[in-house]
């Protein structure tokens, strides 16, 4: 039945949205058997596996979606998250970088890229990427970036900068210095 894959996919999405990850995996597997190679099904199956804590199983599906070259940032971010969940910080950083640079406007992508670099002890490059995230986030104060920048400055023993970035992270004005 041509519409049965859609029913299974929709059921999987409902389970996924309600945190019932094993049920979502089962539904997406059924949908994928009925419509092999569908990027939305493959992506959703990878996300459901990741959310189930089965990152090793999720990575091949999420890689497959990225390799389809749909040029969707979330495809990269999902794959990066799966690698991060496995503690593979350098690989996650590489993937988040590709996603962040895809459209060049997403400060969150730069933040996650920087965070993966930070977690892999690549502090100098993380600092540079966080600076880019701050510049790209013109609308608001990116508090997470400010916290990591404060930590980097702390490691460098530049205490005035630490205080400045902590204040920025709290959303306070510099008059509190």
Q: Running DSSP on this structure, what letter comes out for residue 64?
A: H
Give the Cα separation of 49 and 59 in Å (integer). Answer: 9
> Long-range contacts of range 165-168, CB-CB < 8 Å, 24 or more positions apart?
168/141, 168/143
Could you tell me the pTM of the whole model?
A: 0.81
pLDDT digits (tens, 9 = 90+) for 84-131: 999 999 999 999 999 988 876 778 888 889 889 988 988 888 888 877
108-115: list long-range contacts, CB under 8 Å, 24+ apart: 108/133, 109/73, 109/76, 109/77, 110/136, 110/145, 111/142, 111/144, 111/145, 112/77, 112/80, 114/145, 114/148, 115/144, 115/148
Q: Which residue has the tokens 């900068």?
A: 161
Q: What is the pLDDT of residues 141-153, one digit of tens each?
A: 555 666 666 666 6
């Amino acid at each position: 039945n041509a519409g049965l894959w859609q029913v299974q996919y929709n059921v999987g999405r409902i389970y996924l949205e309600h945190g019932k990850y094993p049920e979502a995996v089962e539904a997406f597997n059924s949908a994928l058997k009925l419509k092999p190679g569908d990027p939305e099904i493959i992506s959703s199956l990878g996300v459901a596996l990741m959310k189930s804590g089965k990152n090793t199983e999720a990575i091949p599906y999420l890689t497959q979606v990225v390799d389809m070259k749909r040029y969707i940032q979330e495809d990269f971010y999902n794959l990066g998250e799966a690698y991060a969940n496995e503690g593979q910080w350098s690989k996650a950083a590489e993937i988040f970088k590709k996603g962040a640079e895809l459209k060049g406007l997403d400060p969150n992508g730069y933040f996650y890229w920087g965070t993966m670099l930070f977690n892999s002890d690549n502090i100098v490059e993380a600092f540079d990427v966080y600076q880019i995230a701050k510049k790209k986030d013109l609308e608001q104060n990116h508090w997470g970036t400010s916290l990591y920048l404060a930590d980097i400055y702390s490691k460098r023993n530049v205490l005035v900068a630490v205080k400045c970035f902590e204040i920025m992270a709290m959303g306070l004005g510099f008059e509190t210095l």
